[in-house]
Chain A
Amino acid sequence: MHEIVNNSPRWPATNANASRLEHLSASVNWTAAILILVLALVPMAASAIGELYYVTLMTRALIFALAAVGLNLVLGYGGLVSFGHSVYLGIGVYTVGIMMDHGITNAWLQLAAALLIGTIVAGVIGALSLRVKGVGFIMITLAFAQLLYFFCVGLRDYGGDDGFSLNGYSDFGLFQLGDNNTLYYAVLAVLAFTLLWVSRLISARFGMVIQGCKSNERRMVALGFPVFRYQWAAYVLSALICVVAGFFIVNLTRYVSPAYMQWTVSGELIVMVVVGGIATIVGPVIGAIAIVLFEEFASHAAFGLPGNADAFIHEHWLGALGVVILIVALCLKQGLYGSLFKRSARRA
């Protein structure tokens, strides 16, 4: 269901529907704002209860939220199922990691380099993949991701399959990302900005074109839109958001490894977007938080269940996740967030 930003002009036409949609959009933006506010309180809450670990956990969740928001741009709004977005996480991780390894800790330089490489790679992959429609597109993005994964595995000098660990952290000049709280707020700030930007983008000309292509590409062409260039641009944009997420992840874990580029990570990103709610602004954030927290608690929390059940769940939580994903795919089409709003309009 399309979300409209809150300033539609007053047409003499019946406004009942307009105000309903307006109301919807207003509440959507409020949700984003409230969410950001709540998230901002996490470090304080964590230190209050003395569990500083939660800050790290939530940082991880927010980083994936950022990646999921990026993916949602092409997946949710654009209707392009990209199964290779983990590549861009990897580009962020490796570019920053390698630069750090060589002593370059300036965050601005690192980001610039990562974004540049990301643009080139996404540009090439996007251009080749978009030539194929439907199922082929999914497969090709997957295959390209594998290509780059193996490329990084082959980088013997940089740890190959195992990767390598870092000693430093990125330096923005005014602040460094070495402190847990600083990192958390940096990620939150970037996430907030990205959410704002995406919400503007969706209601702007570019966003309309992207959604139009998802809804009815044939008609878009018939109207005169050169569809390819807009889909390409959206793809590259979404990739760059993931690159930024990669930049943060390497600062969080201080570890560079090709594991971030595995296709299963791409799959997880898709899961986060859909479980949260595709084609919504906050859906991916909620989905990412939900999945990361699920992973964490399913594999570590003490449920107090009888017998070996606890250990069983810890062992096999991936299977439980699989069940959740299956159920969401079969039944909960709108995702967690989408289902909160009983939309009368069916999905396109």
Chain B
Amino acid sequence: MLKVRGLCKRFGGLTVTDQLNLDVGAKELHAIIGPNGAGKTTLINQLSGELFPDEGSIEFDGCYVTGMRPDQRALAGLARSFQISSVFPVFSALQNVMLAVQAQQGHSFGSWRSVLSDTRLTAPAYQALEEVGLAQQAHTPVNEMAHGARRQLELAMSLATGPKLLLLDEPMAGMSQYESDQVTELLLKLKSRYAIVLVEHDMNAVFALADRVTVLVYGRSIICAEPDVVRRDSAVQAAYLGDEKDRIGEVAQ
């Protein structure tokens, strides 16, 4: 589904992405982990189209998308969620998701019919909200919603676009253990339906969900393998200092 070859990105003298290769299969959940500053968000931005790489190619679903704008990639089936919830505070949860649905339904020049009476929008939106467990808050204005609910909404919006691949940028950021577990449950459900690229710090989630794990250090992929292999790899353990290393060690126990 996703083939990345030789991806390079430099900011001035700093190489943030260094000859990166990545393969993600059609129903695979591929996690990307790495210490802070490894270039994970830059990688996501290049995959989604907000940044253009200096070198390399990105092939999605058989098409080279390296030069495509983010909106074009979204229409091609590459959906992305944001690390810091990027939603529409003025609207209700339902309206947020309806916008996501609307994007995929051709042009949006309709000027007379109210969107709330348009079941082509409301039905899929409501379905997406149910999927992530937000159906109860469908009509709540987003700026009244709690942080955890907003992260769920973030996810619902990405789902509502009917994507082929989900780029999830730290979906569990800022969540409590309970909330993280819920999201992990959800992602397990979704695993079989989409290709997923998951950037996360929460190691429990990563090792519970991932089919394969890529470890990113200073923009380079130092290993790409099944979770068990990664967790035992000495280079990975060396790359992580302090907390992370202990956590990997704990999980390994």
Structural contact, A13 and B136, CB atoms closer than 8 A: yes
- Chain B residues contacting A98 (CB-CB under 8 Å) are none
21 A-B pairs, CB-CB below 8 angstroms?
A11-B126, A13-B94, A13-B138, A203-B114, A205-B108, A205-B110, A206-B109, A208-B108, A211-B88, A211-B90, A219-B82, A219-B87, A219-B88, A223-B161, A224-B71, A224-B74, A224-B103, A226-B71, A345-B143, A346-B89, A348-B89
The bracket for how many chain A residues form the interface is: 35 or more
Structural contact, B122 and A201, CB atoms closer than 8 A: no
Report if A167 contacts B (CB, 8 A). Answer: no
- Chain A residues contacting B50 (CB-CB under 8 Å) are 218, 222
* B47 vs chain A, min Cβ distance (A): 12
- Chain A residues contacting B115 (CB-CB under 8 Å) are 203-205, 208
Counting chain B CB atoms within 10 Å of each CB, which of A14, A221, A224, A226 scores highest?
A224
Structural contact, A223 and B98, CB atoms closer than 8 A: no
Report if A89 contacts B (CB, 8 A). Answer: no
The answer to whether A345 and B141 touch (CB under 8 A), given A8-B116, A205-B109, is yes
Report if B104 contacts A (CB, 8 A). Answer: yes
- Chain B residues contacting A211 (CB-CB under 8 Å) are 88, 90-91
Report if B157 contacts A (CB, 8 A). Answer: yes
Q: At the interface with chain B, which of A15-23, A61-69, A152-160, A250-258? A: A15-23
Determine the distance from Cα of A207 to Cα of B98 in the docked complex, in whole angstroms: 13
Structural contact, B88 and A223, CB atoms closer than 8 A: no
Report if B83 contacts A (CB, 8 A). Answer: no
Determine the distance from Cα of A1 to Cα of B89 in the docked complex, in whole angstroms: 9
Counting chain A CB atoms within 10 Å of each CB, which of B75, B92, B111, B161 scores highest?
B111
Determine the distance from Cα of A225 to Cα of B90 in the docked complex, in whole angstroms: 18
What 1/0 mask marks residues of chain B from 66 to 93 whose CB sits below 8 Å from any chain A CB? 0001111011000010100011111110
Structural contact, B94 and A11, CB atoms closer than 8 A: yes
Structural contact, A222 and B111, CB atoms closer than 8 A: no
Structural contact, B92 and A17, CB atoms closer than 8 A: yes
Binding site for A on B (CB under 8 A): 48, 50, 69-72, 74-75, 80, 82, 86-92, 94-95, 98-100, 102-104, 108-119, 122, 126, 135-141, 143-144, 157, 161
A219-262, CB < 8 A from B: 219-227, 230, 233
Structural contact, B122 and A9, CB atoms closer than 8 A: yes
Binding site for B on A (CB under 8 A): 1-2, 4-5, 7-9, 11-15, 17-18, 21, 197, 200-201, 203-209, 211-212, 215-216, 218-227, 230, 233, 344-348
Determine the distance from Cα of A13 to Cα of B108 in the docked complex, in whole angstroms: 27
* B8 vs chain A, min Cβ distance (A): 23
Determine the distance from Cα of A42 to Cα of B100 in the docked complex, in whole angstroms: 46
Q: Which residue of B lies closest to A197 (CB)?
A: B111
Structural contact, A223 and B109, CB atoms closer than 8 A: no
- Chain A residues contacting B137 (CB-CB under 8 Å) are 13-14
Structural contact, A9 and B144, CB atoms closer than 8 A: no
Structural contact, B95 and A2, CB atoms closer than 8 A: yes
Structural contact, A216 and B86, CB atoms closer than 8 A: yes
* B210 vs chain A, min Cβ distance (A): 24
Structural contact, B112 and A201, CB atoms closer than 8 A: yes
Q: Which residue of B lies closest to A225 (CB)?
A: B103
The answer to whether A13 and B87 touch (CB under 8 A), given A5-B114, A224-B71, is no
Structural contact, A204 and B112, CB atoms closer than 8 A: yes
Structural contact, B116 and A4, CB atoms closer than 8 A: yes
Q: Which residue of A lies closest to B89 (CB)?
A: A348
Determine the distance from Cα of A8 to Cα of B99 in the docked complex, in whole angstroms: 16
